[in-house]
Amino acid sequence: MIEKLQSLWPEITLLTAACVVMITGQSASAAVRRLSWSICAAALIAAGLLAYSTTAASGHALPHMAMYGKIVTCVVGLLLLLMVAGIADRAYEAEVARGKTVFDAIRATRGEFYAFFMFSLTGLMLCFGADDLVWLFLALELVSLPTYIMVATSTSKNASMEAGVKYFFLGALGAATFLYGFALIYGATGATNLVQIHSAFAAQIAAGGLNTIGIVGLILAVVGVSFKIAAVPMHFYTPDVYQGASASVSAFLAFVPKSAGFATIILLLSTVGWLPSSDYPSGALPMPVHAVLWVMAVVTMTVGNVLALLQTSVKRTLAYSSIAHSGYMLVGVIAGPGKGDDFASSGIAAVLFYLLVYGVTNVGTFAVVAAMQRQNRDGTHSEADRIEDLRGMCATNPMMGWTMVICSASLLGLPPLLGFFGKLPLFSAGISGGHIGLVVILGLNSAIAAFYYLRLAAYPLLESPDMAARTSNPITQVPVTGRWLAGVLSVVGVIALAIWPVTSAAKFGATYKTKVAVPGGQVAQGK
Amino acid sequence: MTTVFAAAELNAYLPVLLLVAMAVTFAIANLAASALIGPSRQGAIKSGTYESGMNPIGTARKRFNVRFYLIAMVFLVFDIEIIFLYPWAVTFPSLDQALADGGVWLGRIGFFLLTSIVAYVYGYRKGVFRFD
């Protein structure tokens, strides 16, 4: 019991920081209020260091995933923290600083915003380390509940409120679906512990076949969690919510709930394992689960990519691209851990690595939208969200323009960049698993995706700036350091991580054991 | 298909059933008795809305101060706290002495109490308790 507590030090660090910033964000002193950001940054760094000493969960099918996931959470979390700087209270704090109004804690939202940010990351870490259905459910909700409020409060526009409400209600539907799935899994196995569920399923397979209730439970759970990863059939909210929320919060949504969802799907499917069959000698999921995931993967990536072609808003394009990337990653989930001991054949390692790749790259594209603002006719500013606004950005603002070019090329998967090294293992794992049809569709989809990613790259790079529009609605950089810094660091990551061999970390994180030890040796059998 | 509930299991609920029956009978008997043997005189004041002895004035659909909402939220924290404290307090004495992890259990509930104290400090800082 005390060992379990010790593996939670990173989460406890983040939780403590969340509680502290909730208080400092209300302080009467502006210096203390500004400290909130630094407290979050310090806690994320400390949690990342503590996560290195996470001990492997013995008996677990994926003993090292927790450590990998927690470190990735901290790394991408720091990038996201840079991006969300200046969202909460920027206009209000400016008024207070000019002496127009006296600071009133009830009008400030800085403390809540950073606290929810940290709570959500805590939930993500807990998801990676989950070993029980109840824990998994609570962790998933801890990821999601703060994000609803972050979406609604991220701007003062009504669109954010609308996005928050949509996100909340559809999120409740998703949660109800996967909770029902969890309940059926419990009904089929009589256990909530993932290791015990694994043994119960193994006993059922040995006795002639999986329990139907268990299969239905797994399918419902996966479909419900598809809300978190923005996959078909629960992808409808994605473009509206990403567009309504501030670009920084959209980047947060594209990484944190998605990673939590994939951690959950991998943990759940590890209980039935990827079993070898005559069709798929290196292992496949039970037929009904396999079929559902196959359809989900194909439809998700096709819907995401085709609809992204039609968008004129950068954020909506990136939202559909986020849907498509979930489809790509589902290919890795279907391929499973593979038979060999190498990185190239393990689909789980590919997914875990792709989460890091997508997280780092995606921050860059959203950072460009967050860092640039367009002046409206009435003097107010709005985000430079139209693809038109990117026109000639490499000439007018080289730093942000090139960030957009490099990051969208990486999302496309152009060879020297990180995105290529992320996508390659998904292909190789699919091929070595024998899922040739799926890999062909993945390749076709990457070709469709080239169209809109190249448009995102060509507008800043090849087009010349539209001077008439620039004089009437000038596009300027938002005076918040964190936003452009996040974009630049993302570009550094896209280039550096492609050279630095971090794939071995993902391989370590995806260490998969087909035989798991049941604690206490007792398995509750249920029918 | 085996029986879901053995009859013997339900026997344990017999006292509860008796208590429910007694409560219902008591209520019905009292109402019936006062209707049968009590005097019945009606009047304008007697059939008016009962407002704890005060004269009812105006509509009941008034707007409340939003502070009541904040107070209710703060009260919820207390509520949640007691929900978790009570089972903890009941379980704590029956911990295995030999395992000696009482400190861990105490630490956990201490951490939990700390989080609710944070909620109070947060409420205080937000000005929930400021009535002006």
Per CB-CB distance under 8 Å, the chain A contacts of B115 are 19
Question: What confidence score (pLDDT) does residue B3 get?
Answer: 46
Containing structural domain, residue B112? 67-126
Per CB-CB distance under 8 Å, the chain B contacts of A27 are 125
One-letter amino acid for residue A62 of the chain: L
| B104: nearest CB among A1, A19, A22 | A1
Q: How confident is the model at residue B1 (pLDDT cuts 50, 70, 90)?
A: very low
Q: Is A342 among the domain residues?
A: yes
What value, to the nearest 5°, has the Cα angle with vertex A82 and ends A164 and A72? 85
Write the CA distances from B101 to A5, A22, B5, B75, B91, integer angstroms: 12, 32, 38, 32, 13
Q: Is A526 among the domain residues?
A: no
Question: What confidence score (pLDDT) does residue A57 get?
Answer: 66
Strand partners, A477: A372
Q: Is B26 among the domain residues?
A: no
Return the residue of B nearest to A19 by Cα. Answer: B118
Containing structural domain, residue A165? 2-511
In contact, A431 and A442? CB cutoff 8 Å: no
% chain B with pLDDT above 90: 18
For helices A247-269 and A314-335, angle between their N-to-C axes, nearest 10 degrees: 10
Residue A381 is inside which H or E element, if any? strand A381-383
Rounded Cα distance between A372 and A394, Å, is 13
Q: Is B81 among the domain residues?
A: yes
Token couple for A296:
């989900």
Count of domains for chain B: 1
Closest CA to A227 of A237, A242, A240: A237
Q: Is A431 among the domain residues?
A: yes
Q: Is B77 among the domain residues?
A: yes
Read off the pLDDT of each residue in B110-125 and give the average, rounded to a whole number.
Answer: 87
Per CB-CB distance under 8 Å, the chain A contacts of B120 are none
Task: Give the mean pLDDT per block of 10 residues along chain A (527 residues).
Answer: 75 92 89 92 94 73 87 94 87 86 86 94 94 93 95 89 94 95 93 91 87 92 95 92 94 95 94 82 86 95 94 94 95 87 85 94 94 85 87 90 94 90 92 91 94 92 81 84 92 89 77 62 39
Return the residue of A nearest to B101 by Cα. Answer: A2
Q: Is A518 among the domain residues?
A: no
What value, to the nearest 5°, has the Cα angle with vertex A252 and ends A250 and A257? 105
Q: Is B16 among the domain residues?
A: no
Q: Is B55 among the domain residues?
A: no
Count of domains for chain A: 1
| B115: nearest CB among A19, A23, A106 | A19
Read off the pLDDT of each residue in B89-113 and give the average, rounded to a whole number.
Answer: 83
Q: Is A355 among the domain residues?
A: yes
Interface test with B, best of A9, A23, A114, A118 (most B CBs within 10 A): A23
pLDDT at position B108 over 90: no
Rounded Cα distance between A136 and A171, Å, is 16
Question: What confidence score (pLDDT) does residue A521 get?
Answer: 43
Return the residue of B nearest to A527 by Cα. Answer: B1
Q: Is B87 among the domain residues?
A: yes
Rounded Cα distance between A393 and A487, Å, is 14
Rounded Cα distance between A527 and A207, Å, is 12
DSSP A520: G
Q: Is A409 among the domain residues?
A: yes
Question: What confidence score (pLDDT) does residue A526 get?
Answer: 35
Q: CA of A255 to nearest chain B CA: how many angstroms apart?
A: 27
Interface test with A, best of B125, B128, B132 (most A CBs within 10 A): B125
Rounded Cα distance between A427 and A356, Å, is 17
pTM for this model (two decimals)? 0.86
DSSP A383: E
Per CB-CB distance under 8 Å, the chain B contacts of A2 are 101, 104
Interface predicted TM-score (ipTM) over 0.90:
no
Mind giving me the DSSP string for A159-225? HHHHHHHHHHHHHHHHHHHHHHHHHHHHHHHS--BHHHHHHHHHHHHHTTS--HHHHHHHHHHHHHH
Rounded Cα distance between A194 and A217, Å, is 14
Rounded Cα distance between B132 and B119, Å, is 22
Question: What confidence score (pLDDT) does residue A523 get?
Answer: 42
Rounded Cα distance between A304 and B75, Å, is 46
Per CB-CB distance under 8 Å, the chain B contacts of A23 are 118, 121-122, 125
Q: What is the pLDDT of residues B29-88, one digit of tens each?
A: 999 999 999 888 888 877 777 778 777 777 878 887 777 888 888 888 888 889 989 999
One-letter amino acid for residue A97 of the chain: A
